[in-house]
Structure 1
Amino acid sequence: MLDICLLGCGGSLPVPDRSLTALLLNFKGKKILIDCGEGTQVSMKMVGWGFKTIDVICFTHSHADHVIGLPGLLLTIANSGREEALTIIGPPGFDRILSGLMVVCPQLPFEVNFIEAKLDGSITFSMDDLHISSLGLDHTLTCVGYSIYVKRGRRFDPEKARSNNIPVKLWSKLQRGETTEYEGVTYTPDMVLGESRDGLKVSYFTDTRPFEGLVEFISNSELLIGEGMYAEDSELDKALKNKHMLFCEAATIAKEGEVGELWLTHFSPSLSNPENYIENATKIFNNTIIGRDRLTKTLTFKDGI
């Protein structure tokens, strides 16, 4: 299963009861953080998922509301006792921003490795059964969206193993995907595994205009966390100028991408009560939720096995 927590849902600047942008995902004890605005550590402390096991931090872009929380977070991770290397992913050119942010935390007890996010929608980073893909967005500077896919293993089929005369002592190795040679015969995982099964997909974008390719990138996500900077259709001129998105535009992307659920996030600080405008999204995509700090959801595989 995959746990998701929207740590902060604000854009531009923090306001009371609304931290800046951050999303935390937990899969088998390994954690991925996307963006790290002001207030991220406070929200993380309130959620109680811990700091030590953050293995990957992804950044969409270098605007301050998405990155300023990083130095303090790295120091907190260091104080938690982490010694394993940590991976930071960001758009092209982000390594320069990262170097600047780390001036105030130069002596960490773990290595920080930087990976440049791909802009074509392909996989940027993999960790066990979890794959992170990235896509270039349409903002005022280089910005990327992320899609996290948890691959699901094929179910072990004992009847298939027996029909292929597989020695029982080899079953566990083959189930783990290991090709094995025994008494001059080569046995492959296909000889004991059933059909492929759907995994879990979560997609995330902020700070962008709608564009060709975004729907395909987020398509069939169980959960889409998408930008809702402006609530009302009348604010289109501002959205065009600042390269942000309206509620109705995010909802249209969710509908066309056939996602399971949409969380709107990254609200303008002038948008005091985004829930008052939810119908601007639900009239297009009914299963829309107004994001809030520490909104949490657990995704499980379809048959729960």
Structure 2
Amino acid sequence: MIRLVGILVGLGFTFVVLLAFAFGFANWASDDTPPTAESVFHLAPKHVEFEHDGLFPSWDLAQLQRGYQVYKEVCSACHSLNQIAFRNLSELGYNEDEVKAEAANWVVPGVDPNTGEASTRPGTPTDNFPRPYANDVAARAANNNAIPPDLSLMTKARHHGPAYVYSLLTGYQEPSAELLASYPEAAPATGLHHNPYFANLNLAMAPPLTADGQVTYADGTEASIDQMAQDVAAFLTWTAEPSLVERKRAGWPVLGFLLFATILAWLAKKQVWANAKPKRKED
């Protein structure tokens, strides 16, 4: 009786699932909502490869240092990096004196010890990267009423994060004639810039990388727009997850241990049940 009830419950559950799927499929098939400009002209991120990708990743420290230089000289004018402290730059290959010198090049909020009033001072290794604007009102006023997002976790907050950042930085262009003909309302309004890799196709951020050689790399690498975009995308991958490479590398010993434990458990099972005989079914 219990078995019969279980079978009936299972059949009922299966029927409900199939019915829900059928209704959902019917609604999807009959959906006559007209396509939007975003659904037609929004592009998936470009393919780009980094050394921290793949099964055997590593950080390209030279690239991370170049990416930091791009952030410092270009992106930091609008975007904060408030989850990262200057001392973290030691993970990019900078020594202690270089970290101190880098921190001192930045101006951070402080307090006048004599008056207690707000002031500014050179940064120290223990400080986090400062915000470029005093508050959100100032940020909106300087950016067409849009607040530039913090970049600390940007590559974790966006699907295909590093590729998204790279594609966005290299994707600014004029709207295509096909887009304007089919969706004239999608033309960028005053203060907006067309970029098919952005979800809404138009964004308030002007192209930050405007010309080759905009940054002069200390290691002599040619600073093309494509190269600068790759470098800052790699750097922002590191800021979002500094332990990315270590986490991926740790997976191999774990997989090895699990494989060894599985084989050991199988051999133990064979040993324990080696002399066991199947029980005869009584007549």
Task: Give the TM-score normalised by structure 1.
Answer: 0.24
Task: Give the TM-score normalised by structure 2.
Answer: 0.25
Q: Which has the higher strand share?
A: 1
Higher radius of gyration, 1 or 2: 2
Greater RCO (Cα-Cα under 8 Å, separation 6 or more):
2
